[in-house]
Amino acid sequence: MTLDQISFAARFDGITGSAIREIFKMIAKPEMISFAGGNPSPDALPDQIVSEIAQSVLQKDGKRILQYGATEGYPPFLESLSKYAASKIGCESPSVLPVTGSTQAMDLLCKALINPGDVILVEDPSFLGNLQCMRLYQAKLVPVPSDDEGIIISSLEEAMAEYHPKMLYVIPDFQNPTGKTLAADRRRKIAELGAAYGVVIAEDDPYRDLRYKGEPLPTIKSFDREGWVVFLGSFSKIISPGMRVGFMAGDRRIIRKCTLGKQSADLHTANLTQAIVDRFLRENILDTHIPAICKGYARQMEAMLEELDTFPTGTSYTRPEGGLFIWVELPEGIDTKELLNQAVERHVAYVPGTHFYANGGHFNTLRLNFSNSTIDQIHEGMGVLRDIFGKVL
Amino acid sequence: MTLDQISFAARFDGITGSAIREIFKMIAKPEMISFAGGNPSPDALPDQIVSEIAQSVLQKDGKRILQYGATEGYPPFLESLSKYAASKIGCESPSVLPVTGSTQAMDLLCKALINPGDVILVEDPSFLGNLQCMRLYQAKLVPVPSDDEGIIISSLEEAMAEYHPKMLYVIPDFQNPTGKTLAADRRRKIAELGAAYGVVIAEDDPYRDLRYKGEPLPTIKSFDREGWVVFLGSFSKIISPGMRVGFMAGDRRIIRKCTLGKQSADLHTANLTQAIVDRFLRENILDTHIPAICKGYARQMEAMLEELDTFPTGTSYTRPEGGLFIWVELPEGIDTKELLNQAVERHVAYVPGTHFYANGGHFNTLRLNFSNSTIDQIHEGMGVLRDIFGKVL
C-alpha cells in the first residue's frame, strides 16, 4: 500500500499551519525588514549572561541537570518560580508548573479540559498560534466582541449563558494582536463570571512586564476566589524565546491534571533551561534587564506610531501602553493578505489581520511588530507600506 | 461554582499517571538503591563536556540560539542530525524532526494519526510511558504476543487483519521492559506487513547504541520501501535525558504532519539543547563516549545477572545483549506490586511488571534497571530482593 493511502487524524482537518510560521520562512532573508513575528530585539537577548550562567549551573549541578528530572519541574526552579509567580500574579502560593514555553501551557490546558465540540470563548481577534492549538483539540471557537478596553463584559456573560463554554482564552495586557489592555474593573468581572458559570479562564500574559507607560493593572487571577483562573506565564519576551521556558499557575487540581498530560508530552522541560531561568530569578537579573529592554522597545514603538500618523486618511491604529504589537485597520476594500506579496517583494513583512480572527474576514487589518527592527528599519519599512497601501487607496 | 464541579476531558478517564514517575517520587531519598526508572549512570553523564559546549555555542551563535527558532529545528542541528540519522538508521535522506525527547515523538505521532477508538498494536509487555500516551489519545491498545525473538510474526499478521490498526508500536533493541531484541528476519517482515496492511510502524529505538555483546541488527526502517515506518530516536541514553533532545525520522508526509502538531505543542525544541547535541555529532564525541558508557553498563548488567543466578528456583529472567533492563518472572502467586512496599522500606526499588502490560495482570513479574546503581549497590540491593522474594516462596 503506498503512503498516499494513509489517513491522518481528524483533528488535522482544515489545519494548514500557523500563518506566522509560514511567513517566517518566507522572510528568512537577511535583507528583510520584518514587522511579522513577535521576535524580541537581538539587543534584548542576554547571550553573554546566559553563557556565563549556563557554564556556572552545569559546574555546580551538572549531574542533576543532565539526569532525568521530575515532570513537576527542576527543584530549585520550582522554588524560585513559586515565589516569582506569587508576586507577579498577586496571588498567594499558587501551584506552578514549568512548561516548555507557554505554548505548551495552552496545549496542556486544552488537553486537560477540552473534548471535541467543547466551546472556547476567544477574543476577536486573538493570538493565532493558540487558536490553532484549540482547533487541534477540535474545540468550537466562539468569538466575543471587544472595544478599546478589551472584552465587553455584557457580551461575555451572554456568551457564557448561551454556549456553556469550557474555557475563556484572554490576553489581558498589550493583547496579541491588538496591543489593547483589558480594563481593571473588567478583570474582576471576568474572574467572577468564570466562577459563576464554571468556566476556566486562561489568562495568557506574556507581555505583562513590557509596559512603557501607565501603571500595571491587577491580574485576573488576583481576583480569583474559587480557582477557575489559570495564569500562563512566559520568559520568552523578557529573557529568551529560544530557551522555551514558561509556566502555568493556578489551582492544584488543574495543575495536577496538566502535569499528568505533560508526562506523556515531553516528560519534563529541559533541566538546563530551567536552571538558567532559575538563576535569573535568584540573582534578580530581571530587575535591571527588563527596564533596559523596555527603554529600547518604547523608542521603537514611538517611531512606528510616528510613521502611522502619516498613513493615508481612513487608517486607524492602536496606541498600546506596552507589548510588541500595533494593530492597524485600513479603509474597507483593502486586502492586506493580497498586498503581502508586494510588501515581501520590497523586503517588508507583516501579518495580515484576518489570520487572527476565529472566523476569518477583516481583510483590511494587519498586525505590526516593532521589537525586531531598528529605528532606521522601522522608518524605511513603514515608508514602503505607506506607499503600497497608499497606491490602492 | 466551586472548582470541584470542573469536568476534565474524557481522555483522562482512568489515567492515573505513570507508575514509574510515581515510584520516582517515592524513592527520592538518597539512601535508596533504585532498580526502578531507566536513569543513566551519573558517571555516564558528560557534565564537563556539556558545560564547555554550552559556553562555546552561546559565544558563537548566542543571539540565534536565544531567539525564536523554526519548528523544523535549529538549522545546524538539522544538518548534522540528518546525516547522523541516515547512517544510524541505514536509510537514505529521511526527513527528520528534532523533538523535546523521544517522548514527544510518540505524542506527535499519535496526534498525527490517532482518532479515539483507533487500534494500536503493542508488544506485551511494553514501555508504560508510551502506553499512557496512547491511552491519552483514546486509542484501543491490542497486545501482540512475543517470544524470545520479539513479536511473533504470524500473530502480528492476524492482528493486522482482524483489527485494522493505525499503528504498531515496537522497541526492537533491548526492549523496555524485557531487554529482548527483535530478530533480523522479523524486522524485515514487520516492514513488509506495515506496507501490506497500511499500518504505521513506530520503531522506538533509544537503546540501540547500548550493545554490550553481539552485532547490531538492521533497523525495521532500513527495510521500509513505502514510508510506513517512522523511527524514533533519542539522545537520552547516550548523552543526557535531562536535555530532552530526541528526533523522529521518516517519510516527509508524516514528518510534516508531526511538525504541524509540534507548532502548537511547544513551538520548537530549545535551541540551546539542540545546539549542544549538534556539537556532539559534529565533533564525533559519541565515538569515544558510547564505548566508555557501554563498558560500565556491561559490568553492571553482569553483576545483576550473577545475583539473579542465586534467586529462588522457579525464577526466570532475560539475558539481554544490551540496554538498561532485565526482566524477571517469579513463580506464579508472588505479587511484586504488593511486595514493593517491603522492598522500599528496605531501601530498594523496582517497577512491578504488571504496569507494562496493556491489560494488566502478570503480577509475578518485575523490571530491573542496572545502569543507575554501582556494582556494590547491585549486590546489596539484589540481596534484599532475594530475601524478600525467597520468604514468600
**For residue A18, what pLDDT band results from cuts at 50, 70 and 90?**
low
* Residue B160 in grid coordinates: 493486522
Every domain range in chain A assigned CATH 3.40.640.10: 47-282
Task: Calculate mean pLDDT across residues A196-224.
Answer: 98
C-alpha to C-alpha distance for B178 and B170, rounded to whole angstroms: 12
Are residues A129 and B267, on separate chains, in Cβ contact within 8 Å? Answer: yes
- pLDDT at residue A29, as a whole number: 77
User: Residue written as cell 553482569?
Assistant: B302
Cβ-Cβ pairs closer than 8 A, A with B, add up to 275
Say whether A327 sits in a helix, a strand or coil: strand
- Residue A362 neighbours by CB distance under 10 Å: 18
* Residue A362 in grid coordinates: 477583516
- pLDDT at residue A63, as a whole number: 97
Are residues A270 and B114, on separate chains, in Cβ contact within 8 Å? Answer: no
Name the residue among A374, A302, A365, A392 with its Cα closest to residue A32. A374
Helices (H), chain A: 19-26, 47-66, 75-89, 102-113, 128-136, 153-163, 184-197, 252-266, 271-282, 286-308, 336-345, 375-392
Contacting residues of B for A18, CB less than 8 Å apart:
263-264
Contacting residues of B for A10, CB less than 8 Å apart:
115
Shortest distance, CA B313 to any CA of chain A (angstroms): 36
Inform me whether the pLDDT recorded for B175 exceeds 90. yes
Task: Kindly state which CATH superfamily the domain B3-46+287-392 is placed in.
Answer: Aspartate Aminotransferase, domain 1 (3.90.1150.10)
- pLDDT at residue B362, as a whole number: 97
* Residue A384 in grid coordinates: 514602503
**For residue B16, what pLDDT band results from cuts at 50, 70 and 90?**
confident
Identity of the residue in A107, A195, A264 whose CB atom sits nearest the CB atom of B1: A195
Alpha-carbon radius of gyration of chain B: 21
C-alpha to C-alpha distance for B69 and B163, rounded to whole angstroms: 41
Name the residue among B160, B170, B187 with its Cα closest to residue B134. B170
Identity of residue A307? E
Topology, domain A47-282 = Aspartate Aminotransferase; domain 2 (3.40.640)
Task: List, for residues A21-71, the tens digit of each pLDDT value.
Answer: 677 777 777 889 999 989 999 999 999 999 999 999 999 999 999 999 999
Shortest distance, CA B242 to any CA of chain A (angstroms): 4
Parallel/antiparallel/unpaired status of strands A146-147 and A150-151: antiparallel
State whether residue A162 sits within 8 Å of chain B by CB.
Answer: no
Shortest distance, CA B361 to any CA of chain A (angstroms): 23
Are residues A244 and B268, on separate chains, in Cβ contact within 8 Å? Answer: yes
Task: Calculate mean pLDDT across residues A319-344.
Answer: 96
- pLDDT at residue A66, as a whole number: 98
- Residue B289 neighbours by CB distance under 10 Å: 17
Contacting residues of A for B257, CB less than 8 Å apart:
8, 12
Selected from 2.40.37.10, 3.90.1150.10, 3.40.50.300, 3.90.180.10, the CATH number assigned to the domain covering A9-46+287-392 reads 3.90.1150.10
Task: Calculate mean pLDDT across residues A67-87.
Answer: 97
**For residue B153, what pLDDT band results from cuts at 50, 70 and 90?**
very high
Task: Cis check for the bond before B177: say yes or no (omega within 30 of 0).
Answer: yes
C-alpha to C-alpha distance for B110 and A9, rounded to whole angstroms: 8
Identity of the residue in A3, A69, A113 whose CB atom sits nearest the CB atom of B251: A3
C-alpha to C-alpha distance for B382 and B301, rounded to whole angstroms: 12
Are residues A12 and B257, on separate chains, in Cβ contact within 8 Å? Answer: yes
C-alpha to C-alpha distance for A274 and A295, rounded to whole angstroms: 27
Kindly list the distances between the CA atom of residue A278 and the CA atoms of A75, A213, B98, in Å, as whole numbers in the listed order: 10, 28, 25
State whether residue A20 sits within 8 Å of chain B by CB.
Answer: no
Are residues B263 and A197, on separate chains, in Cβ contact within 8 Å? Answer: no
State whether residue B257 sits within 8 Å of chain A by CB.
Answer: yes
Nearest chain A residue to B38, by CA: A68
**For residue B18, what pLDDT band results from cuts at 50, 70 and 90?**
low
The per-residue DSSP string of A49-113 comes to HHHHHHHHHHHHHHHHHHS---TT--HHHHHHHHHHHHHHHT-SS-EEEEESSHHHHHHHHHHHH
Parallel/antiparallel/unpaired status of strands B351-352 and B348-349: unpaired
Identity of the residue in B2, B243, B253 whose CB atom sits nearest the CB atom of A3: B253
Q: Which helix (H) or strand (E) holds A34?
A: strand A33-34
Contacting residues of A for B112, CB less than 8 Å apart:
8-9, 12
**Residues facing B391 on adjacent strands:** none
Task: List, for residues A145-184, the tens digit of each pLDDT value.
Answer: 999 999 999 999 999 999 999 999 999 999 999 999 999 9
Every domain range in chain B assigned CATH 3.40.640.10: 61-282
Are residues B47 and A37, on separate chains, in Cβ contact within 8 Å? Answer: no
Q: How much of chain A, in percent, has pLDDT values that exceed 90? A: 93
Task: List, for residues B92-102, the tens digit of each pLDDT value.
Answer: 889 999 999 99
Mean predicted lDDT score pLDDT of chain A: 96
Q: How much of chain A, in percent, has pLDDT values that exceed 70? A: 98
State whether residue A288 sits within 8 Å of chain B by CB.
Answer: no
| A 309-368 → B contacts, CB under 8 A | none
State whether residue B130 sits within 8 Å of chain A by CB.
Answer: yes
C-alpha to C-alpha distance for B39 and A159, rounded to whole angstroms: 49
Identity of residue B193? L
Task: List, for residues B62-77, the tens digit of each pLDDT value.
Answer: 999 999 999 999 999 9
- pLDDT at residue A59, as a whole number: 97
DSSP A322: B
Kindly list the distances between the CA atom of residue B32 and the CA atoms of A61, A67, A262, B24, B311, in Å, as whole numbers in the listed order: 20, 16, 26, 11, 21
Are residues A253 and B3, on separate chains, in Cβ contact within 8 Å? Answer: yes
Are residues B51 and A54, on separate chains, in Cβ contact within 8 Å? Answer: yes
Identity of residue A105? A
Shortest distance, CA B223 to any CA of chain A (angstroms): 15
- pLDDT at residue A21, as a whole number: 66
Strands of the B246-250 sheet, one edge to the other: B95-99, B246-250, B229-234, B200-204, B167-170, B119-123, B140-144
Nearest chain B residue to A195, by CA: B1
Shortest distance, CA A346 to any CA of chain B (angstroms): 23
Are residues B269 and A48, on separate chains, in Cβ contact within 8 Å? Answer: no
Task: Calculate mean pLDDT across residues B117-146.
Answer: 97
State whether residue B64 sits within 8 Å of chain A by CB.
Answer: yes
Identity of residue B335? D
Are residues B129 and A55, on separate chains, in Cβ contact within 8 Å? Answer: no
Q: Is the distance from CB of B202 to CB of B167 less than 8 angstroms?
A: yes
Inform me whether the pLDDT recorded for B335 exceeds 80. yes
Alpha-carbon radius of gyration of chain A: 21
Task: Calculate mean pLDDT across residues A243-253.
Answer: 98
Every domain range in chain B assigned CATH 3.90.1150.10: 3-46+287-392
Name the residue among A316, A45, A307, A295 with its Cα closest to residue A179. A316
Shortest distance, CA B124 to any CA of chain A (angstroms): 19
A312's CB contacts (< 8 A; 6+ apart) are A330, A331, A386, A389, A390, A393
Are residues B113 and A9, on separate chains, in Cβ contact within 8 Å? Answer: yes
Contacting residues of A for B371, CB less than 8 Å apart:
none
Shortest distance, CA B390 to any CA of chain A (angstroms): 33
Task: Calculate mean pLDDT across residues B253-282.
Answer: 97
* Residue A58 in grid coordinates: 552545569
Topology, domain B61-282 = Aspartate Aminotransferase; domain 2 (3.40.640)
Are residues A47 and B70, on separate chains, in Cβ contact within 8 Å? Answer: no
Identity of the residue in B11, B66, B115 whose CB atom sits nearest the CB atom of A242: B66
B106 vs B29, residue with greater confidence? B106
- Tell me the helices (H) and strands (E) count for chain A, helix number first: 12, 15
Kindly list the distances between the CA atom of residue A99 and the CA atoms of A95, A133, A247, B159, in Å, as whole numbers in the listed order: 13, 16, 5, 38
Kindly list the distances between the CA atom of residue B266 and the CA atoms of A75, A243, B263, in Å, as whole numbers in the listed order: 22, 11, 6
Name the residue among A121, A128, A178 with its Cα closest to residue A149. A178
Q: Is the distance from CB of A33 to CB of B258 less than 8 angstroms?
A: no
Inform me whether the pLDDT recorded for B21 exceeds 70. no
Query: How would you write chain B as a 3-class SS string?
Result: CCHHHCCCCHHHCCCCCCHHHHHHHHCCCCCCEECCCCCCCHHHCCHHHHHHHHHHHHHHHHHHHHCCCCCCCCHHHHHHHHHHHHHHHCCCCCEEEEECCHHHHHHHHHHHHCCCCCEEEEECCCCHHHHHHHHHCCCEEEEECEECCEECHHHHHHHHHHHCCCEEEECCCCCCCCCCCCCHHHHHHHHHHHHHHCCEEEEECCCCCCECCCCCCCCCHHHCCCCCEEEEEECCCCCCCCCCCEEEEECHHHHHHHHHHHHHHHCCCCHHHHHHHHHHHHCCCHHHHHHHHHHHHHHHHHHHHHHHCCCCCCCEECCCCECCEEEEECCCCCCHHHHHHHHHHCCEECEEHHHHCCCCCCCCEEEEECCCCCHHHHHHHHHHHHHHHHHHC
**For residue B17, what pLDDT band results from cuts at 50, 70 and 90?**
confident
Nearest chain B residue to A127, by CA: B264
Cα B369-B15-B269 angle, rounded to 5 deg: 70
- pLDDT at residue B204, as a whole number: 98
C-alpha to C-alpha distance for B83 and B87, rounded to whole angstroms: 6
Shortest distance, CA B180 to any CA of chain A (angstroms): 24
Shortest distance, CA A251 to any CA of chain B (angstroms): 9
Identity of the residue in A67, A228, A264 whose CB atom sits nearest the CB atom of B129: A264
Shortest distance, CA B325 to any CA of chain A (angstroms): 17
Identity of the residue in B39, B68, B265 whose CB atom sits nearest the CB atom of A37: B68
Task: List, for residues B119-128, the tens digit of each pLDDT value.
Answer: 999 999 999 9
State whether residue A246 sits within 8 Å of chain B by CB.
Answer: no
